[in-house]
Amino acid sequence: MSLPASTLRAVLRTPTNLRPLLLLQHRLGLQSSPRNPSSSTASYHSYDHPAPAPYPPAETAILSAALAHVPTTGFTRTALTTGLREAGYPEISLNLFPKGAFELVRYHLVTQRTQLNTRVQFPDHDSAAPISVGRKVRSLILARLRGNADAGVVGRWQEAVALMSLAENIPASLKELSLLADEMWFLAGDVSVDSSWYTKRASLAGVYAATELFQSTDQSTDFRDTEQFLDRRLEELRTVGGAVSGTIEWMGFQGGAMVNLLRSKGVRI
Exactly one of 2, 16, 29, 49 binds other proteins (CB under 8 A); that residue is 49
Determine if 122 is a binding residue for other proteins (CB under 8 A). no
Q: Which stretch binds other proteins (CB under 8 A): 2-10, 117-125, 187-195, 229-237?
A: 187-195
Nearer to other proteins, 29 or 52 (CB): 52
Asked if 211 and 141 count as a contact pair (C-beta separation under 8 A), the reply is yes
Burial state string for 59-72 with b = 16 or more CB within 10 A and e = fewer than 16? bebbbbbbbebbee
Determine if 265 is a binding residue for other proteins (CB under 8 A). no
Query: Nearest approach, Cβ of 182 to other proteins (angstroms)?
Result: 7
Length of the chain: 269
Q: Which stretch binds other proteins (CB under 8 A): 13-21, 57-65, 146-154, 190-198?
A: 190-198
Nearer to other proteins, 186 or 214 (CB): 186
Measured CA to CA, the distance from residue 192 to residue 197 in angstroms comes to 6
Determine if 195 is a binding residue for other proteins (CB under 8 A). yes
Determine if 125 is a binding residue for other proteins (CB under 8 A). no
Kindly write down the DSSP assignment for every residue of 152-204, as one continuous string.
T-GGGHHHHHHHHTSTTTHHHHHHHHHHHHHHHHHHTT----STHHHHHHHHH
Measured CA to CA, the distance from residue 21 to residue 16 in angstroms comes to 10
Asked if 94 and 28 count as a contact pair (C-beta separation under 8 A), the reply is no
Measured CA to CA, the distance from residue 91 to residue 82 in angstroms comes to 9
Would you give the binding string for other proteins spanning residues 28-47, x where CB under 8 A is met? ------------x--xxxxx
Amino acid at 33: S
Q: Which stretch binds other proteins (CB under 8 A): 23-31, 139-147, 192-200, 238-246?
A: 192-200
Site for other proteins, rule CB under 8 A: 40, 43-52, 182, 186, 191-195, 197-198, 263, 268-269
